[in-house]
Structure 1
Amino acid sequence: MENNFRPVVGARCQFRMKPQPGFNGVIQCEVLEVQPPVRIVYTWDGGGAWGRTTLAWTLEACVEHTKLTLEHTGFRGFRPFLLSLMMGSGWRRKLSTTVKAILARIASESHARKEKA
């Protein structure tokens, strides 16, 4: 997703995606909290029926892995509730593909660096 995100409290940014009926494809955001490398929180405002919601990404070290928790909160009313259900399935789909691809790329780059050393 095209964006100009910066992990700085107070920074404003946009995420851009394909427009759809009733949605121009632009998400307005403001960074609310940054706790490197554990947590980042920002607003998510798609305008119209979406309203302003909040996204929180948290990393938690576990014994043999790292747990990623995504909380998308602040949906109010029936129509936004329906949007939350649709977005929930979208986040699950995005996380299951994108995060796996990012982790594979990082592992590959790490392996390549070790071979050069």
Structure 2
Amino acid sequence: MPEINIVCDYRHSPGKVWRAVTDPDLIPYWTSTGKGARAVGFEPVPGNRFQFVAKPMPGWRGIVDCTVLEVREEELLRYTWVGAEGEEPSYVRYELEPTAQGTRFAYRHTGFTGIGGFAMAKMLGRIRRKMLTAGMPALLSEMDEAGVLLPDAPLRLKDRG
């Protein structure tokens, strides 16, 4: 069964990385290297239903429906992923582990089925790798240690137009 596994080491604290992946206002900054999804209604609380909303494109409505399954603050976030109405869910897992240099972040997306799932895993894998190796480091470098985007951060200024 196809799946996506990406592990990145960031020179930032687990708290800062956790904030980057769970603050709905920050998520679009690191996902902008992909399709720039916004997390609408997201809260890191088991049972919470939310959507990733991005620009629609041919063959995709631009919405991913998700439900939070498990949360351990600064350690683990698991949620379902349904990219098309009627589709069986796949599963996304973020694991954060403190290291001597910062945080090891492991991204895993499993549960893809059939030939369509194989193609989806291949496409999403490329996009996620770019988000986590380019978008996330750019965001983390523009946040203070409390996990707040700096007022004069180039990402924030770019966002204003």
Question: Aligned residue for 1:69?
Answer: 106
> For 1:55-84, what per-residue CA distance to the aligned partner results, in whole angstroms no more than 9, with x for missing partners?
000001122221000000000111111110
Q: Is the helix fraction higher in 1 or 2?
A: 1
The 4+ residue runs of structure 1 with deviation greater than 3 A are 48-51, 107-110
Matched residue type, 1:42: Y
Task: Describe the SS at the equivalent of 1:97.
Answer: helix
Mapped partners of 2:77, 2:145: distance in 1: 26
Question: Aligned residue for 1:9?
Answer: 46
Mapped partners of 1:109, 1:76: distance in 2: 40
Task: Give identity over the alignment, percent.
Answer: 32
When normalised by structure 2's length, the TM-score is 0.63
Q: Is the strand fraction higher in 1 or 2?
A: 1
RMSD: 2.1
Task: Describe the SS at the equivalent of 2:143.
Answer: helix
Instruction: Return the index of the structure with the highest Cα Rg.
Output: 1
Q: Which runs of 5+ in 1 are unaligned?
A: 113-117
Q: What is the aligned length?
A: 111
Give the 3 Å change call, closer, same or farther, for CA 22–51 of structure 1 in structure 2: farther
Structure with higher RCO (Cα < 8 A, 6+ apart): 2
